[in-house]
Structure formats: structure tokens, C-alpha cells
Amino acid sequence: MRRVLGLLAVGALAAATAGCSPSDTPDDAAPAEEANATRVLDEEFADPDILEVDGVYYAYASAGNRKNVQVATSTDLLEWEMLDDDALPELPSWTIPGKTWAPEVTEVADGQFVLYFTTTNFKPALQCIGVATSTDPAGPFTVAGDRMLVCPEAEGGAIDASTFATDTGLNLVWKNDGNCCDKDTWIQTAPLSADGLALAGPTTRLVKQTLDWEGLLVEAPTVVPRDDGFALLYSSNFYGDSSYNVGYATAPALEGPWEKSPEPILSSDSFGGDRYIGPGGQDLATAPDDTTYLLFHSWDAAVTYRSMHAEPVEWQGSDLQFTQE
């Protein structure tokens, strides 16, 4: 795995959010300035996930531009080129096409890449997490197995997979999709098999929605191992308007106790309130000059698409701080 995550050793509202695809366009959001110096890819590119392979950064995004999984490449995290091909051109027959998002790609062995993706299962008809493989980080990826990797029916399904590595191996982290059906949403994690194709241990719950600004849900987890434990970035509230934001929590161990920041670290109100609309779906990556960036999506001023942005950040103890005004 060559994800560059900071100091990583090795990403009525209940009814409104139930069953919603992040590619749907909302009707409600606050205005923001069209010009934005942090926008690094000015087209639909939601829920970016970043992977570095041999000096090339690959960004993967939710369905858009007639692709199930979009891919862009860069050598510095700031200038990106969209690739023409769909990284996941074929969905299995046991899924409902048209709703594929929140991709995560990791390298489990030299030249062996695994894609975790969210799509809608037929039975049960829930959003769940599938897995696919490729020998090329740009794809095409081929779906592995004949069922979803993570699909907890009693918890409303599962979405927004990401990975992180510890001394004991690779781990998967996700959100149970409880807001589909009046249940809590938990950020959860479990160890993966060496090939990344199966869960290999018990599930640990990290955090759920507890703060007013989180609304009905927490999702889009990014776990970062730190010298003194773990940091967790996550998105919360409704993705389709200005209430969406990025939260932050820390813990000495995955089992907790987790301490949340009392306010979101990134929201529509950040930087004077005129830079972003509903920022979220974040990932962390470090550029060749050792600058660490938080990459995420934000709605454009007309609220018609979510473009990718990059804000420089740095670690100050256990806190993640933005470094530009």
C-alpha cells in the first residue's frame, strides 16, 4: 500500500437522505464565490480518494461523466488530468446500476490493486460495499466474488469504504448506512485478509452521530495512524446542501475512547464563509515537496456539481491545522 496519509506507516432530513445517491443534484445551498484558488479539478468529481504509485497520484471519484468510477492523475496533487476510461466499466448482475460512488483503491502487493466501491445490492436492496481487482491502478477493475464484501442488512447496509495500515496489516473502515432506515450511523473498522478481498477479524465501532452539526449521520471516514494513537476525519450531515462538513476525532486506540472536535474542522462557514459549499468526502495525501493536502469535494456556486479541492494542512501534535488563510 502506498497511500500517502500524513505519517501513515505504509479514505424531515431522514427521508431526504434515505436512498439518496451522492450524484443526485440538490435544490438547496448557500451561495459562494465562483473563483476558488484551491479548486484543482473543476468538474464533477465527488468523494475523491488518492493513491500514489511510482510518483504518480491517482484520484478516484464517484460516478459521473457516464462512468462508474472516475480517475484523474497528477504528479503534484495540484494539476490533474482526467482519464477517459471508466475504472470499473462492468458492474455485476447482482447490483442495481447507476449508483456507484465513494471508491477506494489500495495496493495490497506490488502491482496488485484492490478497489472498494459502494453500489446498490439487489437482495437485500441496500447500499453495500463491493470489491474489485486490477494490475493497473487506472483499471479496468474486475469485480471479485459473487456478493458484496460488507452488507450488514440489520444496520441498513454499508457505504464509504477506506483503508489504513497498522503493524498488524491492512484494515477496512466504513459507515453503516443507518440513516436509510432510522438507525444510527457508525464509523466501523475490521482487519482485511492479506489480499484485501475478505474481512479477517471482528468489527470495531469508532464513532456515531452525537453532535448537532453532524445531523443524522457520520460517513466518509479517513483513519490516520499517529504516534500517539489514531486520528479520524469524517464527513457529516446532508451531502446535498451547505450543512455538509468535515469532522475530526482522536483516540489512543481504535477501541477508543474517541474524542471529537467540538466543531467541524471544515465547513461552509470556514475561511470567512465564501470559499466552500458543503465540503466533504475527504482524503489526505502528501506531495513531492512534503506538503500535506486535504483533498475533498465542494459544490460550485450554482450547486450543479462537486469539484475537487486541495487545502494544505499540517500536524500540530494530535491536531490537523490548515496552513493558509
Residue 202 CB-density burial (10 A; 0-12 exposed, 13-18 middle, 19+ buried): exposed
Task: Choose among 225, 273, 224, 221: nearest CA to 246.
Answer: 221
Cell of 318: 494530535
Q: Which of these, 138, 27, 49, 23, lies nearest to 86 by C-alpha position?
A: 138
Which of 86, 177, 214, 219 is an active site residue?
A: 219
Whether 47 is catalytic: yes
Apex 228 CA angle, 227 and 229, nearest 5: 100
Active site residue: 47, 52, 86, 107, which one?
A: 47
User: What's the CA gap between 198 and 147, in Å, rounded?
Assistant: 11
Q: Are 60 and 103 in contact (CB under 8 A)?
A: yes
d(CA 159, CA 177): 6
290 flagged as catalytic: no
Q: Which residues belong to the active site? A: 47, 219
